[in-house]
Structure 1
Amino acid sequence: MDSPLWRDGFTLFLSIVVQAMPFLLLGVFLSGLMAVFVEGSQLARFLPKGKIGSAVAGGALGFFFPVCECGNLPVARQLVIKGIPPHVAVAFLLAAPVFNPVVIFSTWIAFRNMPELVAYRVLFSFGIAVAIGLLFSVQKDLEPLLQPAVWRELQRNRCQEAALKSTSRSPLLQGGTFWIGSRGPAPSGGSLATLQRAEEMYRAALAAAPALSWRQKGLLLLQTWAREIRELGSVLILGSAVAAFVQTVIPRSFVLDYGQDALVSILIMMALAGIISICSTVDAFFALSFAATFTPGSLLAFMVFGPMVDLKAIGLMLTLFRPRAIFYLVLLTFQFTLVGALAINYYCS
């Protein structure tokens, strides 16, 4: 129980959790505010109508929500629940860990002597995120993509917004008759009065939800934060434990033996990025320690692939997407990153 391997694994586990937790809390903080104070229709108004424009806008959102892969999932999940198309959330989910001012600055600090890697990291991450978002936009039926709980919340929000929109101009209360503009005869006075009373009661019930007091909104905000922390925090701890366990098993000597091979070095660094699950705000400094022994393309692959789909991020994605959707997301990210990193290796050779 007191072996060096166990101590190293526990130390790695704590380091991953300590690095990730502040950014997870930041993401939960932002998503809670969005859940209580922002309507889906308000968010949708700021998005371009076309698929390409909306995917680009989704990727660019990361610049205004400077959170790493630990904190962007709560925000992305709330975007989906609020009715934003999932392909926009996918673009945000993949781009935000790198396409934000905090990570760009930390990468530049680490690779000041290799500024091209900083530019490649930002451009590749953004381009891959938008491309995968566009591929996900082809899916018309969203239910197979989303977890059942997220799908139910999305449907409930849609129904509430549709009901509020329809009752704001309800024909029951226009001119005293439901049959304005219709072809049939108007119902008798008694049935019309009943319908009017039912409509008024329904509108009053719907109007009560947005008219929460500040105290009620505060309680709802606390409840939302508590639920998000409980759900996402448990997944984060599990993913961190798996990442720490696997990292202690793989010998470092095996990694260093293949650092100069154009293809194998990329595969090793991508696997390493997925396993060790370092937060994107500090992973550039970890990659810098391999700069003397690994190819430029492999360093780039580490800094592009890891923030998108490491073990910790995959665990968190399971609270939003079904496993099949995550499989395609990981596969596409792997392919795009591999092709881009190979191009950099052959360009720099």
Structure 2
Amino acid sequence: MSWLSSEVSNNLLTFKTMFISIFLEALPFLLLGVIVSSLLQWFVSERLISKMLPRHPLLGILFACFFGVIFPICECGMVPVIRRLIAKGMPVYIATVFILSGPILNPIVFFATYTAFRTRPEVVYSRMGLALVVALVIGLLVYRFIQYQPLRFSLDTLYEEDLRDRSHESWTDKLTSRLMHLSNEWFEMTKYLTVGALITALIHTFVSTSQLAAYGQGPVPSHLLMAGFAYLLSICSTSDAFVASSFVNTFSVGSLLTFLVLGPMLDLKETLMLFSVFKTKFVLTLGAIILVVVLAFSIGWDHIVLRSFS
């Protein structure tokens, strides 16, 4: 019985160490992301953003790809922002590119990824480059094939509700609502980070490393496995790099790239949020496009680009 007690104690110690390590490493970046997201929601007008958009489709898509560099918003805060932007005239294809690229192509996520992969800079630049390419391709596909209005509710209703909510608020009500938004987003994002760190620590503690490595080195299964992890874990883009870095000795670099690109573009929590705002047909179509394009490009990137670093 002593060996069993010792094994349980060792597993518990491994679990606690891994969980605390992932959680504490990611927490400062999560806090920074929540603060920046809240400041943008408070002080940057969606109408001003929509006026900045180029009218040419290709220029509009390119503009949206780099929009996250200027306005770093976590994917968890993207859906309500995009709803308002579409309601005020932003084309659907530009909004789609913004919601895909914004959570990755921003300084906070770049710095978090660089911190997590200090010894593997190719992962950092590959994540940014692949996210840009994927967002551009998906934007062109949405522009070409999705011609209907995807919002669940009418644009006029959404627009009038936003105006009415703002016009009847006193400065004390606005301050209270802003502080409430900040605290709600913080606790919401911390909840997802905690769950993600918990599941990752459980995997590292109770799943055989050799068994994971057998899947993690395959040319295609490793990407599919990490795509499933990315979707189910639903970790914020400001902290997912720290979870991915914990698998660096188990999975191939290319499959980690799938995790880092797919997660911020399509995960479980964001799917539920999309269903609450957009029509079911649009959410399912967009989800399928994201999955296929990310897997195709990440597998290709793995074999063509990343092999030169190995």
With structure 1 as the length reference, what TM-score do the two structures score? 0.66
- CA distance in structure 2 between the partners assigned to 1:149 and 1:227 by the alignment: 25
Deviation at 1:227, TM superposition (A): 8.2
The Cα shift of 1:244 comes to 8.6
Closer, same or farther: CA 110–20 of 1 in aligned 2, 3 Å: closer
The amino acid across from 1:148 in the alignment is F
1:8-23 aligned within 5 A? 23=33
* Alpha-carbon spacing, 1:64–1:314, altered in 2? closer, same or farther (3 Å): same
Question: What residue is the counterpart of 1:140 in the other structure?
Answer: 147
Provide the residue aligned with 1:317 in structure 2.
274
Q: Give the share of equivalent positions with the same residue, in percent.
A: 29
What is the Cα-based RMSD across aligned positions, in Å?
A: 4.0
Q: Would the aligned equivalents of 2:223 and 2:258 in 1 still touch at CA under 8 Å?
A: yes
Q: 1:107 aligns with which of 74, 92, 113?
A: 113
Structure 2 residue corresponding to 1:346, chosen from 303, 306, 309: 303
Note if 1:30 corresponds to 2:47: no
Q: Which runs of 5+ in 2 are unaligned?
A: 1-10
The residue aligned with 2:235 is 278
User: 2-side partners of 1:325 and 1:341: how far apart?
Assistant: 24
**Distance (whole Å) between structure 2 residues aligned to residue 271 and residue 39 of structure 1:** 34
2:258 is matched with 301
CA contact (8 A) 2:104 2:264 kept: yes
Matched with 2:70 is 64
CA distance in 1: counterparts of 2:228 and 2:170, whole angstroms: 47
Within 5 A, what are the aligned runs for 1:114-263? Answer: 114-138=120-144, 139-142=146-149, 145-148=150-153, 152-154=157-159, 216=170, 219=173, 222=176, 252-253=207-208, 255-263=212-220
Letter in 1 for 2:265: M
Contact 1:63 1:96 (8 Å CA) reproduced:
yes
Q: Which amino acid aligns with 2:158?
A: E
- Which structure carries more helix by proportion? 2
Amino acid at match of 2:148: D
Q: Is the 8 A contact 1:146 1:320 kept in 2?
A: yes
Distance in 2 (alpha carbons) for counterparts of 1:25 and 1:275: 25
Moved more, 55-64 or 79-88: 79-88
Contact 2:97 2:136 in 1 (8 A): yes
Task: Write the letter of the residue equivalent to 1:108.
Answer: Y
Q: 1:80 aligns with which of 72, 86, 109?
A: 86
Q: How high is the TM-score relative to the length of structure 2?
A: 0.73
Corresponding letter in the other structure for 1:345: D
Q: Relative to 1, partners in 2 of residues 1:151 and 1:238: Cα closer, same or farther, differing over 3 Å?
A: farther
Identify which range, 310-319 or 328-337, moves more after superposition: 310-319
Farther off after superposition, 328-337 or 77-86: 77-86
Task: Give ranges in structure 1 of 5+ residues lacking alignment.
Answer: 161-208
Q: C-alpha separation between the residues in 2 aligned to 1:299 and 1:237?
A: 22
Matched, 1:326 2:283: yes
Note the C-alpha offset of 1:59. Answer: 2.0
Work out whether residues 26 and 71 of structure 1, in 8 Å CA contact, stay in contact via their aligned partners in 2. Answer: no
